[in-house]
Structure 1
Amino acid sequence: MGQKARAVAIDRGYVAQRSSRNRPRGIVCTRNIYKDFLIRHVIPAIKQQWPRVDRRRPIMIQQDIAKPHVLPHDSDVVAAGMEGGWCIRLLFQPPNSPDLNVLDLELFRTVSPFTVSTTPSLSSKLRTRT
């Protein structure tokens, strides 16, 4: 089973309202800018940080279905992902994926209090909590 790397979602016709370290204020993001960002920054960063032993295993970059995003079979992105013996591919997040399912939001609300609670400092307190 391949591992996943997630790209930042960029909306169609996105105009930056404020400057950031990634872009100046007022710049417009298009499909070509997103594609260039994938080829010049995202894919090389994955290749640099990913374990070399897993190089031949499929690495999926999951993106939502926003208009500026590149098609999974774009020849330039496929070539950049396959260069050097790597197997980096793009895929779209399914529109009805569990990540976007409204019914699952209740689960996070239920689990949240347990993840934010403090840990007991004494072993006796730990025994009484369980």
Structure 2
Amino acid sequence: MEHESLLESFPRLRELMGVEELRHLLVIDPNIEEEADEADIFDPTEYNWMLFFPERVREGLGEELFALLPERLERVEIFQDLIEDGEGDLFGFWCEECDEERIARAALEVLDSLAAVVPQKESEA
């Protein structure tokens, strides 16, 4: 399954966040050492993946639920060595056997579990 089509398995997230593309919910990048003037955010020898949640996720979940995101991610085996950037929207972790699809599925499952407790708007009730 192509990781873009993963979002189809999470209709609650698509509706809550108003998105049709995975990149609007999360961005997954391998954390490779690059020659740059700026220091790497996360040391690539300790964290080989980066996971970013755009502002839309914070807005959709609300601050209180978004604050639970790091704790909920750490419950998932592939995110056990999680480190965050201090703002709670960018994470680094180490997972040798991971690919983007596996990471996306795990992250979407966590987001979906949080979205399940977002209060419905009165017009939807």
TM-score by length of 2: 0.20
Point out which structure has higher relative CO (alpha carbons under 8 A, 6+ apart). 2
